[in-house]
Structure 1
Amino acid sequence: MQFFSIIRIVGILVMCFSFTMLVPAFVALLYGDGGGRAFLEAFLLNFGVGTLLWWFCRHHKYELRSREGFLIVVLFWVVLGSLGAVPFILLEQPDLNFSESIFESFSGLTTTGATVITGLDSLPKAILFYRQFLQWLGGMGIIVLAVAIIPLLGIGGMQLYRAEMPGPLKEQKMRPRIAETAKALWLIYLSLTILCALAYWLAGMSGFDAICHSFATVAIGGFSTHDASIGYFNSEIINYITVFFLLISSCNFALHFAFFDQFHGRYKGQARNRFLRLYWRDYEFRFFILIQFSLFLICFLVLWAYSYFDNTQTTLSQAFFQSVSISTTAGFTTNDFSSWPSFLPLLLVLASFIGGCAGSTGGGLKMFRVLLLYLQGKREVHRFIHPNVIQPIKLGKYVLSERIVEGVWAFFSAYFFVFVVCWLVTIACGMETFDALNAVIASMNNLGPALGSVSSNFTQVPDSAKWVLTFAMVCGRLEVFTLLVIFSPTFWRD
Structure 2
Amino acid sequence: MLDLRPVGFVIGLLVAGLGLAMLLPSGLDLLLEDSNCWQLLKAALLTTLAGTMVALACANFPQRAIGIRQAFVLTASVWFILPAFGSLPLVFGKPDLSFTDAMFEAVSGITTTGSTVITGLDQLPAGTNLWRGMLNWLGGLGIAFIAMIFLPVMRVGGMQFFRTEGFDTMGKVLPRATDIARALLGVYAGLTLACISAYLLVGMEPLDAVVNGMATIATGGFSPADMSFGKYPGAGEYAGIVFMILGAMPYIRLVQLVHGSTRNLLADSQIRAMLRWMAYAVGIVTLWRTATSDQGLEPAFRESAFNLVSIFTGTGFFSGSFGGWGGFSMVVAFCVGMIGGCSSSSSGALSVFRIQVVLEAIRVQIQKIGLPHRVAVVRYESRAVQDDVMNALILYVTGYIVAIGVLSTAMTITGVDATSAVFGIWTSIGNIGYGYGQMVAATGTFIDFPDAAKWLMIVAMLMGRLALLSLVVLVIPRFWRG
Which residue, out of 469, 472, 482, partners 1:484? Answer: 472
Q: Which amino acid aligns with 1:374?
A: L
Unaligned runs of 5+ in 1: 148-156, 264-274
What TM-score, normalized by structure 1, do the two folds share?
0.91
In structure 2, distance between residues paired with 1:86 and 1:6: 23
In structure 1, distance between residues paired with 2:122 and 2:356: 41
| 8 Å Cα contact 1:109/1:137 also seen in 2 | yes
Q: Which amino acid aligns with 1:373?
A: V
| 8 Å Cα contact 1:328/1:355 also seen in 2 | yes
Q: Which amino acid aligns with 1:454?
A: V
In structure 2, distance between residues paired with 1:317 and 1:50: 45
In structure 1, distance between residues paired with 2:152 and 2:440: 34
In structure 1, distance between residues paired with 2:384 and 2:455: 42
- 2:252 maps to which residue? 254
> CA-to-partner distance for each residue in 1:222-248, whole Å, 9 max, x for gaps?
1111100000123x1111000000111
- 1:76 maps to which residue? 78
In structure 2, distance between residues paired with 1:167 and 1:85: 32
- 2:140 maps to which residue? 139
**Shift in alpha-carbon separation, 1:328–1:417, aligned structure 2, 3 A:** same
Q: Once the 2 structures are TM-superposed, how far is the Cα of residue 118 of structure 1 from its aligned partner?
A: 0.2
- 1:451 maps to which residue? 436
**Shift in alpha-carbon separation, 1:83–1:322, aligned structure 2, 3 A:** same
User: SS where residue 445 of structure 2 aligns?
Assistant: coil
Q: Percent identity?
A: 29
> CA-to-partner distance for each residue in 1:382-410, whole Å, 9 max, x for gaps?
11111222211123432222222222101
Unaligned runs of 5+ in 2: 168-173
Which residue, out of 376, 401, 404, partners 1:391? Answer: 376
- 2:68 maps to which residue? 66
Matches within 5 A, 1:201-220: 201-220=200-219
Matches within 5 A, 1:224-239: 224-234=223-233, 236-239=234-237
Q: Which amino acid aligns with 2:273?
A: F
| 8 Å Cα contact 1:65/1:159 also seen in 2 | no
Q: Once the 2 structures are TM-superposed, how far is the Cα of residue 342 of structure 1 from its aligned partner?
A: 4.7
1:471 is aligned to 2:459: yes
> Which stretch shifts more, 457-466 or 317-326?
317-326
Q: Which amino acid aligns with 2:123?
A: S
Q: Which amino acid aligns with 2:102?
A: S
1:171 is aligned to 2:170: no
> Which stretch shifts more, 375-384 or 446-455?
446-455
- 1:279 maps to which residue? 265
Q: Which amino acid aligns with 2:362?
A: G
User: SS where residue 188 of structure 1 aligns?
Assistant: helix
- 1:151 maps to which residue? none
**Shift in alpha-carbon separation, 1:326–1:35, aligned structure 2, 3 A:** same
In structure 2, distance between residues paired with 1:163 and 1:85: 29
Q: Which amino acid aligns with 2:72?
A: F
User: SS where residue 141 of structure 1 aligns?
Assistant: helix
- 1:123 maps to which residue? 124
Q: Which runs of 4+ in 1 moved over 6 A?
A: 164-167
In structure 2, distance between residues paired with 1:142 and 1:447: 15
Which residue, out of 343, 353, 368, partners 2:353? Answer: 368
| 8 Å Cα contact 1:444/1:472 also seen in 2 | yes
In structure 1, distance between residues paired with 2:202 and 2:323: 28
In structure 2, distance between residues paired with 1:144 and 1:281: 23
| 8 Å Cα contact 1:114/1:448 also seen in 2 | yes
**Shift in alpha-carbon separation, 1:374–1:308, aligned structure 2, 3 A:** farther
| 8 Å Cα contact 1:133/1:212 also seen in 2 | yes
- 1:266 maps to which residue? none
> Which stretch shifts more, 382-391 or 54-63?
54-63
Q: Once the 2 structures are TM-superposed, how far is the Cα of residue 358 of structure 1 from its aligned partner?
A: 0.5
In structure 1, distance between residues paired with 2:235 and 2:115: 25
| 8 Å Cα contact 1:143/1:160 also seen in 2 | no
**Shift in alpha-carbon separation, 1:416–1:348, aligned structure 2, 3 A:** same
- 2:171 maps to which residue? none
**Shift in alpha-carbon separation, 1:445–1:260, aligned structure 2, 3 A:** same
Matches within 5 A, 1:346-385: 346-385=331-370
- 2:104 maps to which residue? 103
In structure 2, distance between residues paired with 1:129 and 1:468: 27
Q: Once the 2 structures are TM-superposed, how far is the Cα of residue 30 of structure 1 from its aligned partner?
A: 2.2
- 1:318 maps to which residue? 303
| 8 Å Cα contact 2:217/2:247 also seen in 1 | yes
Q: Once the 2 structures are TM-superposed, how far is the Cα of residue 212 of structure 1 from its aligned partner?
A: 0.8
Q: Once the 2 structures are TM-superposed, how far is the Cα of residue 299 of structure 1 from its aligned partner?
A: 0.9
In structure 2, distance between residues paired with 1:404 and 1:121: 46
Q: Which amino acid aligns with 2:343?
A: A
- 2:35 maps to which residue? 34
> Which stretch shifts more, 461-470 or 445-454?
445-454
In structure 2, distance between residues paired with 1:17 and 1:282: 35
> CA-to-partner distance for each residue in 1:322-379, whole Å, 9 max, x for gaps?
1211221112111121211451122212311101000111111000000001000111
| 8 Å Cα contact 2:404/2:422 also seen in 1 | no
The root-mean-square deviation of aligned C-alpha atoms, in Å, is: 2.1
Q: Which amino acid aligns with 2:163?
A: E
| 8 Å Cα contact 1:73/1:163 also seen in 2 | no
- 1:269 maps to which residue? none
| 8 Å Cα contact 1:355/1:364 also seen in 2 | yes
Q: Once the 2 structures are TM-superposed, how far is the Cα of residue 197 of structure 1 from its aligned partner?
A: 0.4
Q: Which amino acid aligns with 2:246?
A: I
| 8 Å Cα contact 1:251/1:360 also seen in 2 | yes
| 8 Å Cα contact 1:327/1:349 also seen in 2 | no
In structure 2, distance between residues paired with 1:57 and 1:34: 36
Q: Once the 2 structures are TM-superposed, how far is the Cα of residue 308 of structure 1 from its aligned partner?
A: 4.2
Matches within 5 A, 1:371-450: 371-450=356-435
Q: Which amino acid aligns with 1:489?
A: P
Q: Once the 2 structures are TM-superposed, how far is the Cα of residue 220 of structure 1 from its aligned partner?
A: 0.7
In structure 1, distance between residues paired with 2:150 and 2:465: 17
Q: Once the 2 structures are TM-superposed, how far is the Cα of residue 490 of structure 1 from its aligned partner?
A: 2.5
Q: Once the 2 structures are TM-superposed, how far is the Cα of residue 167 of structure 1 from its aligned partner?
A: 7.5
Q: Once the 2 structures are TM-superposed, how far is the Cα of residue 179 of structure 1 from its aligned partner?
A: 0.7
Q: Which amino acid aligns with 2:468?
A: V
In structure 2, distance between residues paired with 1:48 and 1:161: 33
In structure 2, distance between residues paired with 1:163 and 1:401: 16
In structure 2, distance between residues paired with 1:143 and 1:378: 31
- 2:282 maps to which residue? 296
- 2:193 maps to which residue? 194
> CA-to-partner distance for each residue in 1:251-307, whole Å, 9 max, x for gaps?
1111112212225xxxxxxxxxxx3x4323111111111100100110111011113
